[in-house]
Structure 1
């Protein structure tokens, strides 16, 4: 958050386009990094029922509120320097969070820092006015010392996690192409670009509500497949509208396509966090987000293809999105399963031989984590 805020503030004083772009590169590094870190932190701290609300509605809905506010702020502040300044100042509000938000007990356990994890849970129990057990975590060989260090290479080390990772990287990349291409294309639609941007953002509100309902009640693969396939199918249907007089219908279909892609993006974030274990969860989400940046980099070029044929961007985006929906059916199911803490505890891809899973001794049998009791 500090990198993003300071870099955006420095952009206000950019003396050239080159300096502006260099600072924007740093802004992007800070923005997506703190988004992923905040998502993972909330996922690991919160209990199962609250986690679903947080990962599908909480994070995404507040992102949408900012998205909807952006065209309004930009409408009244036309100078780009003052606009950047207005978007930077709220970053000061982040500072108290350093003392308010605790560290992830799951991550501390994965590092062998049992006493620190217990202290956080006892503080949570005190604030929630419940009694913490005398012994929260048993000091066994699994958590008595610092655990094995994990890095991005562990995402492709075994056949099961390698297949999960590659599949998710492809899905995230295609999702990002559709999401950002449709978001950037609002300026090319008929009518006010400010209003179209607001409508594009407002479309995400019901999308996240639907994503939350699907994630709460349905199998993860079915939820991800249905939203991806809906988005792809609608984008393909736009090509069947021949007359310019039906521009309002085209906009409606494009917003419906954005609805499906947005809901899928919300689901894939939460689904990915459930599939990967604690020891690599932040790394895995970061890697998936990095793969999605390939899609966001490619998104403007999909829009440029409209200069050769107006239907070509929709055909490509619709086909790729629908195919990624089919690909998502190959992922393992995580609905109703506890969050894995070690790579050996991951759900297996359908068709792979199921390996024995050692139950982690530091997690209570009747709950995912002791924090769920507190």
Structure 2
């Protein structure tokens, strides 16, 4: 049976149809660049100190002495969580008009019983100032972000299965709707608990949309465009969304209005429903031949080419009908040796990449500059990462591309420990290179993962790998708690994990210049090492040599 790329070869590789699909699907991931990352500003902690009630009638001099000074690294600053006992301060102020005549340090301290005062210098409000997520409640701020990533984890797992069962297009727009609608509802949260609930629901749709868009685009565009779509197309629009966030946040300093403004962008994507088709590959696997044929003929019309009178032979139609009766579940990702090994290795590699990417993103030094500029630079670095991923995937085999970038990232992180303390700038540069390799690796692994799995379980396979990576995202901040025991231990752990993943990547089968598989049976025929007896009808003819009574065929398309 002919593969899908052969059947649709008459469409060409880069006609108006492919250009429209390329642009619209790349555009659909723009909100993913700021969805979730907006917690950098929404959940930021403004400068704060204990509230001192105005009914105490304290003089300005005494008011300035009500907050104790504490040592913070190399400087003294006012305590954020403690104040001197106000009943004692009030009595002393009545006796001693000048606070300098009293040893204030002997006055007992108490927590901020009347709440806090927050600086308005940078923000009008954040969720921290809204619900006093400081001091004893300080854990609630980071937990708000963790809840979002828990939603992302659940969404990645569910969306993959739904996309394989109900279609790529429906699930992509459903997840877009989730992050838009619940993002808007989120601003009406009466308390922190409700906010977290909606943050979880926003997370359900966030990265799921990204994942399904990668799969749908890879199945709609031609094989020569597939790589540039999943790297430069998807990567640059994601980076654009990332860079767009600090631009909007700079002018909008209220967390409710910021979330509302960003969420409203989702409504701009409603018209895309009538321009983005369902995947013909998926329709054919489901036995919906007439719908698939209609989409293919519409594509031919847009490209101004003539479609064959008969797209599919009778034998191909019978084969599609037989395959459409086969239901797939997550267990099918572990049924045969090839797909089982591929799934396990993918899970490990995706988890390491997620740990490195988000761990470094949350712990790279702030570059000693403006928060908005720093966030913008974090987005900028995604662009060269996307270009590098495209070059690697276009010119080099998948295994070597991914393994090489993982190995480079691991070595760079391991080198940080030997950098002298007076060269902190160099250490920062190495961490940024580590972030670059993680971002580049993520783009490569999305393409590689899409090519590794057959059509019947492609979204499910990528979804499971993405789910594993999101689990790592939740725990990645804890990697840096190891720094309490040894300053460089987090970088040693991440570096070793990335080097190990580089080695494991070489076990995966190669997919460079190989047509996408449609069934699990086709995937099982893939050999990780191309050692097989030459057959006169073998589709790949190349130079052969005989060694130990075995013919080694060198495939020309590898």
Alignment of 1:218-233 (within 5 A): 218-233=396-411
Cα distance in 2, alignment partners of residues 330 and 273 from structure 1: 17
- Note the alpha carbon deviations across 1:140-162, whole angstroms, 9 max, x for none: 32123633111111000111110
Q: CA deviation at 1:118?
A: 0.3
Alignment equivalent of 1:264, drawn from 441, 447, 451: 441
SS at 2:320's partner residue? Answer: coil
Tell me if 1:113 matches 2:288: yes
Aligned to 1:338: 515
Q: Which moved more, 1:107-116 or 1:66-75?
A: 66-75
Return the TM-score normalized by structure 1: 0.90
Cα distance in 1, alignment partners of residues 335 and 389 from structure 2: 32
Q: Which moved more, 1:100-109 or 1:9-18?
A: 9-18
More strand as a share of residues = 2
Cα distance in 1, alignment partners of residues 476 and 183 from structure 2: 23
Q: 1:38 to 1:181 in 2, by over 3 A?
A: same
More helix as a share of residues = 1
SS at 1:341's partner residue? Answer: coil
Between 1 and 2, higher relative CO (CA 8 Å, sep ≥ 6) is seen in 1
Q: 1:195 to 1:304 in 2, by over 3 A?
A: farther
Q: 1:80 to 1:318 in 2, by over 3 A?
A: same
Q: CA deviation at 1:85?
A: 1.1
Aligned to 1:198: 376
Equivalent residues, number: 356
Alignment of 1:89-128 (within 5 A): 89-128=264-303
Aligned to 1:19: 194
Q: CA deviation at 1:352?
A: 10
Q: CA deviation at 1:199?
A: 1.8
Q: 1:155 to 1:171 in 2, by over 3 A?
A: same
Cα distance in 2, alignment partners of residues 311 and 193 from structure 1: 25
Aligned to 1:162: 340
Aligned to 1:321: 498
Question: Rg larger in 1 or in 2?
Answer: 2
Aligned to 1:215: 393
Aligned to 1:49: 224
Q: CA deviation at 1:349?
A: 5.5
Aligned to 1:250: 427
- Contact kept in structure 1, 2:247 and 2:372, CA below 8 Å: yes
Alignment equivalent of 1:65, drawn from 233, 240, 244: 240
Q: CA RMSD in A?
A: 2.0
Aligned to 2:183: 8
Tell me if 1:36 matches 2:211: yes
Return the TM-score normalized by structure 2: 0.61
Q: Which moved more, 1:33-42 or 1:305-314?
A: 305-314
Q: CA deviation at 1:354?
A: 7.8
- Note the alpha carbon deviations across 1:38-77, whole angstroms, 9 max, x for none: 1111010110111111011111211111112222322332
Q: Which moved more, 1:109-118 or 1:19-28?
A: 19-28
SS at 1:96's partner residue? Answer: helix
Gaps of 5+ in 1: 356-364, 366-374
Gaps of 5+ in 2: 1-175, 534-539, 541-558
Alignment equivalent of 1:306, drawn from 458, 462, 483: 483
Tell me if 1:240 matches 2:415: no
SS at 1:95's partner residue? Answer: helix
Alignment equivalent of 2:259, drawn from 75, 84, 94: 84
- Contact kept in structure 2, 1:175 and 1:261, CA below 8 Å: yes
Cα distance in 2, alignment partners of residues 126 and 335 from structure 1: 30
- Note the alpha carbon deviations across 1:275-315, whole angstroms, 9 max, x for none: 10000001111111001011101111123333443312111
Cα distance in 1, alignment partners of residues 197 and 225 from structure 2: 39
SS at 2:309's partner residue? Answer: coil
Q: CA deviation at 1:197?
A: 2.4
- Contact kept in structure 1, 2:364 and 2:431, CA below 8 Å: no
